[in-house]
Each structure stands twice: as C-alpha cells, then as structure tokens.
C-alpha cells in the first residue's frame, strides 16, 4: 500500500500535492486523521505542511485537551484556517459544568498560528447556577487569559479572519473589554452572535471598532423576561440600518445609534417563545407588537433597502430540523389575531410575508456576503431579514427546539466554512 502511494500521489510536485490535499482537508479533521495513517511519507508531509489540521472541529473538553497535545508536537506548522470549538452542554439538563472550557479555548487559540485563521466558531456551554465570583465568558476570543489593563492593543489578533461565530451565554460584563482591541480583526466580513442576555446600546460603535470591514451581522434575539432593553437596541439598529428612524432625534441623543459603515446585511433570528408558563399572555401580546414593528419597517423602506420577514417555522414530522408551534385552530381568538400573519396555514406554502415587496428587488453582485444559493456575494442594497421565533405549546418541546437551533447554527457555519476555504 505504501509503495503504491509513493509511486502515485507522492510522486507529484509538492505544490500540486499540497493543493490537492488542501481541497481534501476541508471537513472537521476526519480526512486529515486518515491521511496521517496511510503511510509514513504522507504522515511526514502532513507534519511538515500542517495541511491535515487546516480545518478542525473539536467537541468537548477531553478532545480539546487531545488537540492541544497534537499542536504541541507541531511547532512551526500550526496553520489552522477553519476552527470550531464547542462544549456541547445542554441547558435543559440542569447540572453544573465539570470544567470551565475557556482554559482550553485560550490554550488552542494561543498555540495555533492565528495569522492564518480565516473562519472561527466558539460555542460556550450554558452555566447552570453560576456563583457570584464566576467571571462571564468574554465576548472576544483572546490569546491570553487576561486582557490588557489600561493600554489599547494596536496589532490585530486575527489579521486574516473573515468570519466569526460566537454563542454565549454572554452577560453585560462580557462586552467590557471590547474597546481595548480597536484592530481586533480588520478584515472580518461576517459576525454571528447568539446566547447573550444583554446587548449594550453602543454595540454598533463596538462592532465598527473591532471589525471595520464588517458587511454582515447575524443576531439571535430572545424575547421574554428582562429582554426589553436588548430588544429595543436591536430594533433601533434595524430602523437606522433601514433608514426609517428619526434622523434628528437619533443625532440629538447621546451618541445616537451607530451602524458599521460597510454593513449590508442584518439577519435577526428570534428564539422560540414558550406559551405554557404562567402569566405569559402579556408577554405574548408584547411579542406580537414587537414583530409588527418590523412589518412597519418593511412598509416604510425606500427602494434602496430590502426587508424580508419570514413566517414561523412549520412543524413537519418528517423533518428533524423543524419544531412545533401552536395550531391556530386550537388557540384563543386574540392569539390568532395577534400572530395570524406569521402563521403558515395548511393552504399556504409561502414562508415570507407578502408585505415585504422590496425583498424581490434585491440585487446581488461582487463578493463578500454569504448567499446560500450562490456562495459569496455582495449586496448592492441594504437588506434586513427577520425570522420570528415560533410559539411553543408544550414544555417537552423546548429541548427539541434547542437542539434544532444548534443544528441550524452549525449547518450555517459549515456552509460558510466550505465557501471560504473554497475561495482561499
């Protein structure tokens, strides 16, 4: 087997062989691990070039520790381009974490050559019953355990990073060190954030400072207990982005609402809302009014802006990545009236609200923003996309919903990873 491999694949010029293996090693590391076991010459080639670890996905602290050991053996060839780290704890299991994963995250990020990283995804686990002395997870992935105290970092931490996905739980303290890194990722095009409990009002300024080239913002939004300020921040950003806010009022307020100058696409994904808890009726009514605010935005935008508002996901038993919502025929009249336009009925296949007439005129050209149908494209217009979270009727459905949303987030990241590695 080894002699046959040496006579064929390893007989190629090194530049061509590197390109072939680079195209092959674009999964979460399975192909690279297989290459290391084929033969000694191929193993040495992987050690020399690091091609087998250019795209890596690691789930769980134990595997992260093992990956750190792999990196320690490769001084000089730690050129990871795509990295996904996840500690898959379930918030519905209600049990404390065995170990804080941020130690492994920092260890891996500080060991790899961060100048080669193009796409990064970090998922922090849910913290069940945190102690008062436990520091919040930091918003920004860092290369050191402690951020600088009083000086600004001038050199980019991730100079080539194009795509960053972060899932919390993030708290108010998670954002406090962001201003210390004005040149954090100067080439970043897309930022996806979910799992946060608070979003600071100055988030637009912070994003512009950290990611001056940002073109696409993806936010997962929660509606419910003590989320009013965060929802108001997101709504104000959406209005300013779509140019339907009161410019005079915005300019006269303290700092106003800032939008990163290159931003062309905002995608808002609302988490599902439960209807089974006691006293939920007032919150459901507020949620309906909140969604209507986005409908009003869609009705007011000019031809330079596109707004696309989707209906609630429909429950289909044959699909694992969908979840249930209240059947309109089994609910009270006010609930149907409040959410009627967001419910997909049996005689309707349209998943986008008809009110979004401008969405059909969106023009895509150039490069920079991810379009599932056509790879990396640039939006000529600004575009706002809203995915309302469905109404959950049974408590037992909530874990299924959480798993489905995690699968959606991971699938989106995999699609972007394949697109970015395919172009680089």
Same-domain check for residues 94 and 208: yes
Q: Angle formed by the axes of helices 102-111 and 61-72, to 10°?
A: 20
From residue 237, alpha-carbon distances to 138, 140, 153, 298 in Å are 23, 21, 28, 14
Other beta carbons within 10 Å of 259:
21
Tens digit of pLDDT per residue, the chain (424 long)?
445 545 566 677 777 777 777 777 777 777 777 777 778 777 777 777 777 788 888 888 888 888 888 888 887 778 899 999 988 655 444 445 556 778 888 889 988 888 899 999 998 887 665 566 677 787 888 766 565 555 555 678 899 999 999 988 888 778 877 667 777 899 999 999 998 888 888 899 999 989 999 999 999 998 877 788 899 999 999 999 999 876 544 454 445 689 999 999 999 999 888 877 777 778 888 888 899 999 999 989 888 899 999 888 755 545 544 555 555 555 556 666 777 777 665 555 556 665 554 443 333 233 234 344 444 445 568 999 999 887 887 777 777 787 888 888 888 888 999 899 888 7
Q: What is the pLDDT of residue 237?
A: 94
Looking at the structure of the chain, the number of domains it has is: 2
Domain end point (choices 37, 53, 69): 53
Same-domain check for residues 5 and 99: no
Round to whole Å and give the CA distance between 267 and 237: 12
Same-domain check for residues 271 and 410: yes
Same-domain check for residues 201 and 232: yes
Give Cα 34 to chain centroid, integer Å. Answer: 29
Same-domain check for residues 17 and 123: no
Same-domain check for residues 85 and 197: yes
pTM above 0.95, yes or no: no
Same-domain check for residues 73 and 137: yes
Q: 12: domain range?
A: 1-53
Other beta carbons within 10 Å of 4:
9
Q: What is the pLDDT of residue 239?
A: 94
Round to whole Å and give the CA distance between 209 and 152: 12
Same-domain check for residues 47 and 152: no
Same-domain check for residues 113 and 198: yes
Same-domain check for residues 37 and 141: no
Same-domain check for residues 94 and 9: no
Same-domain check for residues 6 and 103: no
């Amino acid at each position: 087997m080894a002699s046959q491999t040496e006579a064929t694949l390893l007989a190629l010029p090194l530049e061509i062989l590197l390109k072939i293996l680079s195209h092959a090693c674009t999964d979460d590391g399975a192909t690279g691990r297989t290459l290391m076991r084929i033969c000694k010459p191929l193993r040495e080639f992987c050690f020399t070039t690091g091609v087998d670890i250019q795209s890596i996905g690691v789930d769980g602290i134990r595997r992260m520790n093992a990956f750190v050991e792999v990196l320690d053996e490769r001084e000089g060839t730690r050129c990871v381009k795509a990295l996904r780290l996840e500690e898959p704890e379930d918030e519905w299991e209600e049990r404390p974490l065995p170990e804080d994963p941020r130690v492994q995250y920092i260890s891996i990020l500080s060991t790899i050559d961060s100048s080669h990283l193009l796409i990064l995804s970090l998922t922090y686990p849910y913290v069940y019953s945190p102690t008062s002395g436990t520091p919040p997870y930091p918003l920004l992935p860092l290369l050191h355990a402690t951020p600088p105290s009083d000086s600004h970092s001038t050199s980019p931490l991730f100079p080539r990073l194009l795509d960053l996905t972060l899932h919390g739980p993030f708290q108010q303290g998670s954002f406090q060190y962001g201003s210390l890194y004005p040149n954090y990722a100067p080439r970043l095009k897309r930022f996806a954030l979910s799992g946060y409990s608070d979003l600071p009002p100055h988030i637009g300024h912070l994003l512009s400072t950290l990611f001056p080239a940002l073109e696409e913002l993806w936010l997962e939004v929660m509606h419910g207990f003590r989320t009013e300020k965060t929802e108001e921040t997101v709504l104000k950003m959406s209005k300013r982005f779509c140019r339907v806010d009161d410019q005079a009022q915005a300019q006269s307020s303290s700092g106003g609402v800032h939008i990163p100058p290159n931003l062309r696409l905002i995608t808002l994904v609302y988490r599902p809302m439960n209807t089974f808890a006691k006293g939920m009726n007032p919150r459901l009514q507020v949620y309906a009014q909140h969604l209507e605010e986005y409908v009003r935005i869609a009705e007011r935008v000019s031809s330079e802006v596109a707004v696309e508002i989707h209906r609630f996901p429909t429950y289909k038993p044959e699909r694992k990545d969908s979840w249930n919502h209240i059947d309109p025929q089994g609910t009270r009249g006010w609930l149907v009236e409040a959410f009627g336009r967001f419910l997909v009925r049996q005689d309707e296949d349209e998943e986008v609200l008809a009110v979004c007439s401008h969405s059909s005129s969106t023009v895509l050209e150039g490069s920079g923003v991810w379009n599932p149908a056509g790879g990396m494209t640039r939006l000529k217009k600004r575009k706002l996309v809203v995915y309302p979270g469905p109404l959950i009727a049974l408590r037992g459905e909530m874990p299924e919903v959480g798993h489905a949303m995690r699968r959606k987030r991971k699938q989106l990241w995999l699609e972007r990873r394949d697109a970015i590695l395919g172009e680089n």
